[in-house]
Structure 1
């Protein structure tokens, strides 16, 4: 009897699992098929073709995929190379604390080339992929002006504190905060526009709002001070770099594919005003699929006319980890990382730069999203990246991000699922 198993069957989304098929004929050609339906009903699928070994087994961690959604030996290939059935869809967990993603795994005889597999599967099973570990609590935050969600590991703490920021689409995105809390951090997923009663659009970057959030987090009895960390991607990385520059509470910053100058929105803080470099939207390029390639929208930050828009990173006293996807089609993020680092003190920063990785570098449970629709844009946006190097970048960078935060914020207790 053919059997497919995934172990563990219940796991955190950033952790590896093992897929095994037993009971096949030696050298039998089979298709392993993974399917996931997100909370909005969108379908994501991956498949790979294998030949069973002499014992009638298939193990993607030992046996190379001959073709399909990927080729070669990728233990997590059926999870990392999921693709949407409809274009411009991003796999994004919204209900982080309430339910897992359910991945259906099926084995079919032969190479299934159709969009949907034909016939009955030889075997099937299900994997649960969670974004919070047991005992992690989600606490909605509505205190003063601050809006977001606080994720607390189990136990009394105190835990090292982290603020988690996403980008220009606004709203509140929580999946990374849930995974970091499962690693032992107290994480505030912070919204800064287009959420609850916050402004619908961002007219300016008011750094006092982020200072209020930092002070609120450090006052929490289960958060260990005196410093905290910030993780930001895209516009959130720009904000994170400004926080590291001007807020003494920020001692460890993870900057992922952002800028080192103010763009689109000026920064205001007390008596400080940093003007923004305007977007040159007339230079947007529409791809054959209709997505917007925004790379040329950013003017050269080295132009002397924009010198006053640079974030003065020489003022940073903490540590910064710069994470760059060299195939980023949204921002020339490597240039911005290099410009920021050139102003910083020796030993205060480190660069992780990944050829072939795109803009949305996320925890390794997230398949590449090279283009997607986002709130506030008339057409989908091109993010860039190639599936296999992007997957390697996510796996490596996530481990480095966690180590960086542990090193500079103190030891943590990992939650086991």
Structure 2
């Protein structure tokens, strides 16, 4: 193998095995671990299996969605073995894990919790199922997120950002724009579809279900359109 792909699922907690098979059919060595069980709290970034991929491959690409994209961008910034990052529905910040009002960082690095943006616990949804995008925006207004910003300018290789304009989980288009600005002249590409939601559907995939009950935005048609749009860009990033 020449390129290994670490494929990171989101907060549903379910590995993207169908996506892994699609990437394997393109000739890539893919690991799609289940990287959390009950909660996304103080997970060591060193626990992701980069060592295993590096033993078999010359290049490592990390591809993650949502909270998995958060981990992907952090690993790209902190681990020099990462050659490229593909972030679907990305965030520009490290976020808290809220457990009955007790908030902790989602991640640790070298034994220390990373700075995080707390969630504003006074916020209440006004729709059902709830759209959480306003919650993240309100939390960023209430708390200073500078210390929790992911240092994406430290990612050595290319970054591909994919976001839907109708994302109702968090404002991924806004986050993608912030990441792109922070990267300045470093190789960064952003693919956005205005009508798509939080879950892009790549060619050959079936729509996902499960996870926490929430509004995710988009439609199957729009999410597939975003998948078709980003697919050639994704293959270019994987190929290096």
- Please show how residues 41-52 of structure 1 align to structure 2 within 5 Å: none
Report runs of 4+ in structure 1 exceeding 4 Å deviation.
Answer: none
Contact 2:18–2:205 at 8 Å: present in 1 too? no
1:330 corresponds to 2:193? no
Structure ranking higher in helix proportion: 2
Aligned-partner Cα distance in 1 for 2:199–2:220: 12
Rg larger in structure: 1
Note if contact 1:284-1:296 (Cα within 8 Å) is conserved in structure 2.
no
Query: Out of 232, 248, 256, which is 2:80 matched to?
Result: 248
Q: Map 1:108-257; keep pairs closer than 5 Å.
A: 158-194=1-37, 200-210=38-48, 213-219=49-55, 223-225=56-58, 227-257=59-89
The structure with higher relative contact order (CA 8 Å, sep 6+) is 2
Rate the CA distance shift 1:237–1:392 in 2: closer, same or farther, 3 A.
Answer: same
Contact 1:368 1:386 in 2 (8 A): no
Counterpart CA distance in 1 for 2:140 and 2:156 is 23
Q: Is 1:284–1:292's contact at 8 Å kept on the other side of the alignment?
A: no
Name the counterpart of 1:277. 117
Distance in structure 1 (CA, Å) of the matches to 2:16 and 2:186:
32
User: Which residue, out of 149, 155, 162, partners 1:316?
Assistant: 155
Q: Which residue of 1 aligns with 2:101?
A: none
Whether the aligned pair in 1 keeps the contact of 2:84 and 2:156 (CA below 8 Å) is no
Report the secondary structure of 1:253's partner residue.
strand
Alignment check: 8 A CA contact 1:261 1:301 kept: no
Give 1:362's aligned residue: 201
Gaps in structure 1 of 5+ consecutive residues: 1-157, 195-199, 409-417
CA contact (8 A) 1:171 1:193 kept: no
Q: How far apart, in 2, do the equivalents of 1:168 and 1:308 lie?
A: 23
Q: Distance in 1 between matches of 2:40 and 2:223?
A: 30
Shift of 1:325: 0.6
Offset at residue 362 of structure 1 (A): 2.5
Report the equivalent of 1:56. none
User: How far did residue 281 of structure 1 move?
Assistant: 5.0
Post-superposition Cα deviations, 1:241-275, rounded to whole Å, max 9, x if no partner, equal 00110011111110010211111142321165422
- Please list the CA deviations of residues 197-232 of structure 1 after superposition, one character each: whole Å capped at 9, or x if unmatched: xxx32221311112xx1012211xxx321x300110
SS of 1:285's equivalent in the other structure is coil
Contact kept? 1:327, 1:385, Cα under 8 Å:
yes
Give the strand-richer structure, 1 or 2. 1
Match of 2:223 among 384, 387, 390: 390
TM-score by length of 2: 0.87
Deviation, 1:172, is 2.7
In 2, are the aligned partners of 1:323 and 1:352 still within 8 Å (CA)? yes
- Selected match of 2:187 from 345, 348, 355: 348
SS at match of 1:255: strand
Gaps of 5+ in 2: 98-104
* Pick aligned residue for 1:339 from 167, 174, 178: 178
Task: Tell me the distance in 2 between the aligned counterparts of 1:358 and 1:332.
Answer: 10
